[in-house]
Amino acid sequence: MQTTFSAPSRPAITEAVLDEPSSNRLAEVFAALSDPVRLRLFSLIAARPEGACACEMVGPVNRSQPTVSHHLKALEAAGLLSRERRGRWIWYQVDRSGLRDAASLLDCC
């Protein structure tokens, strides 16, 4: 079970030096957010509490369908999105737990 008020899962980056496993994991999350197209896709989905359909995203980011598919897969693999099929469509939602580590790391600012 997971309460709404759970503490940050990592100390802020000013509090302790990252060990190697933590660096590796966090680098994955940041890598997923390190491409402008992926950031924009993530943003398009995050801005909607109900999530968004992959079919709506080719236009806004101005990339081919395979490229969009590739990026969405990367975001999901990093634990930043969850995927659900609804008939012919795939719906994505932000996975907030995936973001939490990265966010708590930067909490010092």
| Sheet of 81-86, strand order | 52-53, 89-94, 81-86
Q: Identify residue 104 by its one-letter amino acid code.
A: S
Determine what percent of the chain falls in helix, strand and coil, rounding each to the nearest 5: 50, 15, 40
SS3 29: helix
| Integer angstrom CA distances of residue 3 from 6, 9, 49, 82 | 5, 13, 19, 19
39 binds a copy of itself (CB under 8 A): yes
On whether the CB atoms of residues 72 and 41 are closer than 8 A, the answer is: yes
Select the span of 15-23, 66-74, 81-89 touching a copy of itself (CB under 8 A).
Answer: 15-23
- Name which position in 22, 26, 33, 35 contacts DNA (CB under 7 A): 35
Among a copy of itself, DNA, none, what does residue 9 contact (CB within 5–8 Å per kind)? none
99 binds a copy of itself (CB under 8 A): yes
Q: Which residues bind a copy of itself (CB under 8 A)?
A: 13-18, 20, 23-24, 26-27, 30-31, 33-40, 42-44, 46-47, 49, 94, 96, 99-100, 102-103, 106-109
Q: Which residues bind DNA (CB under 7 A)?
A: 31, 34-35, 37-38, 53-55, 63-67, 69-74, 83, 85, 87-90
